[in-house]
Amino acid sequence: MKKLFTSVLIGLAVLSSTACKHPGKESETLTEAAPENKDEISKDVFTDSYGEKIEVTINHTKNTATIHLEGKTYDLKKSDALPEYTASNEEYQYSDIKGNITLLKKNVDMVLFHAKRETKGSGSAKMASY
């Protein structure tokens, strides 16, 4: 009886020590397996002449643009067929052509947002041209 009790006690000790180590290995594996976000992302906020703001997030790695305007979000895909940076879906089109930022609704040809990109140093260039 004493041998049975000792062997059960040793068995429980081995089992509990194995159980304690196992979750540690799982958490290490999960940490290592989590992929890092290596996407090249740029974010800009533009303001039009009326004071409305548009937030543009461009994922250059996935060729997508996410536009936030007036509480709505538009997910668009980059279009290589159109000039400079243009992204669109079935209903909307965003473009940044020569510093003109435009979001339009395609099926009714309605401009939802238009602003001119302010370039750094443009004030000094204007002064030099006078």
Cα–Cα distance measured from residue 129 to residue 81, given in angstroms and rounded to the nearest whole number: 35
Question: Which of 76, 53, 54, 80 has its CA nearest to residue 65?
Answer: 76
Taking only the tens place, the pLDDT of each residue in 81-120 is 877 899 999 999 999 999 999 999 998 889 999 999 876 5
Whether 71 has a pLDDT exceeding 90, the answer reads yes
27/18 Cα distance (integer angstroms): 15
CB neighbours of residue 86 within 10 Å: 18
Q: Which amino acid is at 30?
A: L
Per-chain mean pLDDT for the chain: 78
Q: What is the pTM of this model?
A: 0.61
Task: Give alpha helix (H) positions in 34-121.
Answer: none
Between 7 and 78, the more confident residue is: 78
User: How are beta strands 92-97 and 85-88 bridged, if at all?
Assistant: antiparallel
Query: pLDDT digits over 45-55, tens only?
Result: 999 999 999 99
